[in-house]
A and B are shown apart, each in its own frame.
Chain A
């Protein structure tokens, strides 16, 4: 978690969790993602950086097929999760999304109690057999979301009554409650103040132990702080992908260098 020593950060080689090759995404006639190939490792935080409109969020949403909800969106190419093509006709996006959880830019808790927010996923997936099981899952998830101590006394208060940072951690807890294998985060801190951001970043670092985390961020400092791998997107292309330390200190592509030094974007 120290900017100054990113070069020395230990980068262990992990298994490949998600492997995308020659992915194209079209919004109608608009070619939004051009020929992106990337391998995302397990138990690693991978950051997607790039200027606005470069396609990083679009690509992130391809990884759990959230783009299916957009009628005009079309995805080509192969995206493999543990070697299985997630765009295969036999794949049920609902099952996929249980494995690949997502946290959104704006905190979006359900207008229900904190408890029900967390319990919703496990309930619909049948992860709990009894009320006691569910209580255990809720507590575990809230602890993982680093919000248990703040809400343990008011589990049945509405989730929408929490502060912005708490809501976002609640959303993260909700995402981990279904025991996903991959956690996608779409600019999770853009609506938060610096203190809440620090809490969420710390949380992301802890989550790395059990999940493969992919985070889209506008803040290069954040990418440098939390990620082991960084991918730089520009105008729909994946320009450069590599260890975070290398991207920030020794970028190979001139565009990456321009971006991280603040000349484009």
Chain B
């Protein structure tokens, strides 16, 4: 100290606050550049998100509508009796239906010739549908009944732009002349677009019937799997992390466990699929394609995520809270369960739901354990109520559709993605709400 005062200080350089010197200017420029980078990065991310969202919605929305022939039809008791006496009963119903269509077209001043074959190409076996309806509901006889009949997927494609007059070649599925009929029916308002309940509630269909394919059954499959995952991974994961974080001594063994849990979180999901196939199906003989097995495999995958996030949130609880609890004579367990865990709850819940969301979107392991079970009938009979019965899962179903040759399945795959995203969005919203609710200041 004395040294400093002994030497005469060097004359101070005069500087103005108004004009910045070179160093400051350089620093400010660097900061501006960095801000620009950051902003660009965010804008690019947003742009990608918008592109993704728009393309999903554009490609997927058509899956939620279908083309139907909506027609009012009256069948008298006499017509019914007469038709039942015929040799080809459904043929008789079909002819009556065609006559009715013809009448309605003529009434609107349009005259167009078509035969039963054309109607079959457009609507499939109409006669059978009508007959079944009247046999089941005899009371409807003589009264006008509104029929909504699904058009074939090619006609559907004509409305959605997959099929056009320029590219269509006459085949047993659809003739060019049929499109004239379709146009005429649309003009009269008989053919129109309606919400596709089959897609929302139904099960997968055969490869040649994209119109009847639905995601409903696999939604149920995914739901059962998520229940298995939640019930298994939340208690196991939270118990494991509490033990590791609060009770376990710090030694080589716990270090090893810790490293392995981190590694486990990075293991490719297909490895878990093979493990599940070998252990749960081949060794333990659990049923194939069952939500139970799918859930077990996804539990293995979700556990590390839950453990890591739970440990992180336990760690973030200030140690002073533990001290306070121990200081008034709480046991270690009381301190953890009364004070630490409630404070860590928002983090644990968020981690759990993120883990579940990850599991919900996982495809590869499900394909390996055969979670592509084919449920033949739609809602409500087709909804498989059980953990051990064969079912499908949303992402596996989407994958199956995307891999099929018929282009109309492509649209279904996109539609399935919308449903999947809706579920993920819901789960994230729940996570945010839970976070808000449990969050407390300290």
Contact = CB atoms under 8 A, between A and B. Distances in A.
Interface of A: 64, 66, 69, 71, 94-95, 97-98, 101-104, 106, 108-111, 120-121, 124-125, 158, 160, 171, 174-175, 177-178
B323 interface: yes
B343 A109 contact: no
Given A101-B328, A110-B325, A177-B328, 18 more contacts: A69-B323, A69-B326, A94-B331, A97-B328, A102-B327, A104-B327, A108-B324, A110-B321, A110-B324, A111-B442, A120-B328, A121-B330, A124-B329, A124-B334, A158-B441, A160-B441, A174-B324, A175-B328
B441 A111 contact: yes
Contact of A94 (B329, B338, B442): B329
Interface string B334-355: 1000110001000000000000
11 contacts: A66-B323, A66-B326, A94-B331, A98-B329, A108-B323, A108-B324, A109-B324, A120-B330, A124-B328, A174-B324, A175-B327
A125 to B, nearest CB: 6
B250 interface: yes
Interface of B: 249-250, 318, 320-331, 334, 338-339, 343, 440-442
Nearest to B319: A69
A40 B204 CA distance: 80
Contacts of B320: 104, 106, 108
A124 B324 contact: no
Contacts of B249: 71
* Interface residues of chain B: helix, strand, loop or mixed (majority): helix
Contact of B328 (A106, A111, A174): A174
Contacts of B334: 124
A177 B328 CA distance: 9
A220 B440 CA distance: 38
A69 B324 contact: no
B377 to A, nearest CB: 53
A175 B324 CA distance: 9
A125 B338 CA distance: 14
A64 B331 CA distance: 13
Nearest to A103: B327
A71 B254 CA distance: 13
Contacts of B321: 108, 110-111
Contacts of A175: 327-328
Contacts of A64: 327
A125 B329 contact: yes
Q: Across chains A and B, which 8 residue pairs bring their CB atoms closest together, nearest first?
A: A98-B329, A108-B320, A121-B328, A102-B327, A111-B442, A97-B329, A108-B324, A111-B440
Nearest to A174: B328
A237 to B, nearest CB: 26
B326 A124 contact: no
B327 A66 contact: yes
Contacts of A171: 324
A104 B330 contact: no
A176 to B, nearest CB: 10
B329 A121 contact: yes
Contact of B329 (A108, A109, A160, A178): A178
